Structure 1
Amino acid sequence: MKPETTQQPFVNQFPDNVWSDINDHWAENCLNELGFSGLFSGYPDRTFKPNKLMTRAEFAAALKKAFPDTPAKRQAIKFSDVSSNFWAFEAIRWAYERQFLSGYPGGVFKPQENIPRVQALVALASGLNLSANPQLIDSFSQLFEDAKDIPNYANSGVAATLEKRIIASPNNPRQLKPNQPATRAEVAVFIAQSRLQPGQIDRVNSQVIIEPVISPDFLPPNPWKNNQLYRTLSKPATAIAWSYNEEVIGSYQPQTGIQLWDVKTGNSLEIISEETNHRYLSFALNNTGESIAFYDYNSEANQLSLKLFNRKNKAIQNVETIQIIDNFTLDEQFLTLLEFSPKGEILATFVESVVRPQRIEIGTLKIWNIKEVNRIQTFSITPKISKLVFSPNSELFASYHSQGQVKVWKVGTAELLYTLNEETVIDDITFSLDSQFLLSAVISFVDGFPIDTYVRVWEMSTGMLQFNFDLSVDRTSRNRSLSRDGTTYFASGEVAGASFFNVGNNNTFNFTFPPNVSPLSIYNAKQNLFSPQGRLFSIATSEGVFIWNSSY
């Protein structure tokens, strides 16, 4: 029985699934998406038959429906085994013209032959003009136990689909099974992954997608294998911030203020005292730690002020004052964020609040020229965001909403470059040190409990997901953070303890606890933060600020 090529999704009959036989299938979500969008057809009995093998004719029909705008590249030919009244005649003709599929010697197409997985992958690479780094071919023996079974003609096509995250292997990611006939579900996933647009994640569980071998230039090996406690700052703190050169660290304690420390010596450099009826809501240090930006909330005047402190002349400059409306209540829902660019010449600010009783969300993100102290950009952004971060070259700027979106802008033009739709809980973001990638740490939840932790790597030249790394983080861990260079993830909790996780190779390294300090103070830390270059790691606790160094 051939698929019904004109069938539309049966939304009314099957509100949860388009087809009745895909419940709990490994590709269920992907098949639903393709079915509801009308891009893949099922059978007249309302089934999809996901494990049924797909013929070359069926594959041609699926390609035509999935990629209708693909231009022709060559003239059609007549295959002796495909008559003009054959149900897939037009689809086969279309697929041949666009170089998705070719025939066999003797002028035959073999439409009823089951299509091998490797043929389906090569067809997508050919028809969609996909290319790959030739070095990926050399990685086949590292990736696949059955690499020797890949035909020579298919090497480039497999490498291209590998780089584009198209290849799914639901049972064993170490086996490509190139010459095994492809199932309808496998082909559907190949096609869905091929259709990914910038900012979209995998259409199936990322664990079934075969990851390309990562370049050794992307992540250095084992940076936190021999981590050591480097410095102890005796003052308790609820927040910390680094200078970009990693020579100064700032700590904040309510009713005390912001204190600056020399990282090498541990000596106190400066204290910006918090005055009566005032509360500092957030602060940031520039590249050298000579300029400190902070938000000062005056409860008596009901005002929020953005201020700059200059360590050289001890002057505090008022940049902007916001008059808070009368029915505003300062509580945990009020959010302010500050971030200097790596060279310290630009400051990003964000203020969001909830006005009661109407519960109106107000949020504004601004970019300031610090030298001239004037606003140069205002970004349109939907509250609520959780972090601001510049790329190391200061050309890009990103923020994230914990419930599912990362937005990336061009700093100079305020143009929204990408919206990365994570579709899960985002825990942290950072740019790679070469500014070519944005990394996002995400957590998947089931029934309100964290289950899996991933670090996703997005290529900034295309907005496409390049890698997706699964981390063995215990679901009970609470305090989590991603290093600014993207190499390391830290997580701690009373059940699993504290560990550094090396992104990309699944190595885990024990965390060195400070002597004579209760582990609970680490697990209950107010903030943990990697330094901008990723060489140092700090934790703000009720017993002080602790700094570790890596094995860089």
Structure 2
Amino acid sequence: MCSLFRCSSASSLLLAFGMAVVTASPVVMSIPISAQNAVPTLLTSTSKTTFSDIKANYWARPFIQAIVERNIIDGFADGTFRPDRPVKRAEFAVMLQKAFEQKRVRQLNAGGFKDVPPNYWAASAIKEAYETGFMPGYPANLFLPKQQVGKFEAIAALANGLGLTATAPASNILNGSYTDAPIIPNYAADAVAAATQANLVVNYPNVKKLDPLEPLTRASAAALLYQALVWQERVEPLPSNLKTANYIVADVNQNNQTPNDVVTVTASDSSFSILSSLLKTAGLAVILQHPNNSMTIFAPTDEAFANLPKGTLEWLQQPENRETLIRVLTYHVVPRKRQVSELSEGKLKTFAGKAVNIQVNSLTHQTTVNNAKILQSNIQASNGIIHAINQVLIPPNINLSKK
């Protein structure tokens, strides 16, 4: 087992861990609406990527082409894409419904929204966008489906629905990234900061100007959705040599800090001091810091390690027991970034080769790994995501009581 962790190249590391790059082609379509209960005529061809109003040098052309090629969004029957057309709340709800498969985190009341009748063309999408946490309603039980979506609202919706959280103060991220940060509404600041840190935000023509109160356009919606799919590792990032990539906002705070990989994040949190120390003892720290690794770590807190049988922790730290320590620690790591909302009932194979059992209580929204409860979820890192748990997970082929 130890030999697996002596690999020097990125490719051999991935093979050692049994990691696979998962690429999926989601089906997302923005439905432009000209009447409340009618869907307009769209192009019947899903392979067309050329539009009369999208020139070769149009700033969002790579985003638009990519999502059209993947049947994510269509143009109009007249051969146009209408990139500057504002997106309405009902349209955005449909985009979200077809882009993501998130778990419900709340329930819409039986009567639904007063301004969304049961036969409304986007009724199911609106219900799902609300219940999955992407889009809120308004007072008096209204959704306002025909209201235009502000750019900051769309960014916040993606951050909230995807469960993004920032790893630095929101004010630091926003003030360092945007010249117009002061006009971002306070209630959306944390969500916009989290989306910024996750590289979801795209600003044209000035990457430093968010224009948060401007309406979301179809072109901007395509860019934001594409970047969200990049974050989920369902599509590839745009090549850095494309001019369009220059409009993707990078969190400037990360340029002046140690890279926020999973090991660095755990080391900076006092709740994980024991885990951080054990990763170094096992020789796993360098491997888990590799920028090309994508993983989810179920991280036991210090209290969880303290609850192990007396003498167990000390035994694991002895050099002759390093292989067992590696097997225990890698049993807490699974391939790919997985938000807590992406964890579903069943077995999930770990880097140790053994599977953990995921259970989700739909009533309490409590997710457990084996018998360990997730105490804090979706702690973001540059190469993974961390969920704090209240117990140390022991692989089924290891019996520490007979050490």
Q: TM-score range by the shorter chain?
A: 0.5 to 0.7
- Cα distance in 2 for partners of 1:178, 1:110 equals 19
- Cα distance in 1 for partners of 2:97, 2:62 equals 22
- The offset of 1:39, in angstroms, is 1.7
Q: Which residue of 1 aligns with 2:224?
A: 190
Q: Please give the TM-score of this superposition, normalised by the length of structure 2.
A: 0.52
Letter in 2 for 1:117: K
More strand by share: 1
Q: Are the aligned partners of 2:172 and 2:253 in contact in 1 as well (CA < 8 Å)?
A: no
1:392–1:202 distance in 2 versus 1, CA, 3 Å: farther
Letter in 2 for 1:76: L
Q: Please give the TM-score of this superposition, normalised by the length of structure 1.
A: 0.39
Q: 1:39 aligns with which of 52, 72, 76?
A: 72
- The offset of 1:101, in angstroms, is 0.8
Letter in 2 for 1:57: A
Select between 190-199 and 125-134 the one with higher mean Cα deviation: 190-199
Q: Which residue of 2 aligns with 1:92?
A: 126
Larger radius of gyration: 1
Structure 1 outlier segments of 4+, above 3 Å? 3-9, 197-200, 391-398, 406-410, 458-462
1:169–1:394 distance in 2 versus 1, CA, 3 Å: closer
- Cα distance in 1 for partners of 2:150, 2:181 equals 15
Q: Are the aligned partners of 2:41 and 2:76 in contact in 1 as well (CA < 8 Å)?
A: no
- The offset of 1:213, in angstroms, is 1.9
Residues 1:218 and 2:235 aligned together: no
Aligned residues: 239
Residues 1:22 and 2:62 aligned together: no
Q: Which residue of 1 aligns with 2:157?
A: 123
1:177–1:71 distance in 2 versus 1, CA, 3 Å: same
Letter in 2 for 1:66: A
Q: Are the aligned partners of 1:18 and 1:35 in contact in 2 as well (CA < 8 Å)?
A: no
Question: CA offsets, 1:516-536, max 9 Å, x none?
Answer: xxxxxxxxxxxxxxxxxxxxx
- Cα distance in 1 for partners of 2:218, 2:161 equals 19
Q: Are the aligned partners of 1:114 and 1:181 in contact in 2 as well (CA < 8 Å)?
A: yes
- Cα distance in 2 for partners of 1:137, 1:409 equals 28
Q: Which residue of 2 aligns with 1:230?
A: none
Q: What SS class does the counterpart of residue 252 from structure 2 fall into?
A: coil
Q: Which residue of 2 aligns with 1:62?
A: 95
Question: CA offsets, 1:417-441, max 9 Å, x none?
Answer: 79xxxxxxxxxxxxxxxxxxxxxxx
More helix by share: 2
Q: 1:71 aligns with which of 103, 122, 127?
A: 103
Q: Which runs of 5+ in 1 are unaligned?
A: 220-390, 399-405, 419-457, 463-552
Q: Which residue of 2 aligns with 1:208?
A: 247
- The offset of 1:142, in angstroms, is 2.8
Q: What SS class does the counterpart of residue 139 from structure 1 fall into?
A: helix
Q: Which residue of 1 aligns with 2:33?
A: 2
Q: What is the alpha-carbon root mean square deviation over aligned residues?
A: 3.4
Q: Which residue of 2 aligns with 1:395?
A: 287
- The offset of 1:20, in angstroms, is 3.7
Q: Are the aligned partners of 1:40 and 1:66 in contact in 2 as well (CA < 8 Å)?
A: no
Residues 1:49 and 2:82 aligned together: yes
- Cα distance in 2 for partners of 1:139, 1:124 equals 17
Q: Are the aligned partners of 1:9 and 1:38 in contact in 2 as well (CA < 8 Å)?
A: no
What does residue range 355-370 of structure 1 map to in structure 2 within 5 Å?
none
What does residue range 83-162 of structure 1 map to in structure 2 within 5 Å?
83-162=117-196
Q: What SS class does the counterpart of residue 384 from structure 2 fall into?
A: coil
Letter in 1 for 2:236: Q
Q: Are the aligned partners of 2:74 and 2:81 in contact in 1 as well (CA < 8 Å)?
A: yes
Question: CA offsets, 1:159-218, max 9 Å, x none?
Answer: 110011001101112211111111011011111111114493248722101111234333
Q: Percent identity?
A: 30
Q: What SS class does the counterpart of residue 210 from structure 2 fall into?
A: coil
1:142–1:409 distance in 2 versus 1, CA, 3 Å: closer
Q: Are the aligned partners of 1:150 and 1:178 in contact in 2 as well (CA < 8 Å)?
A: yes
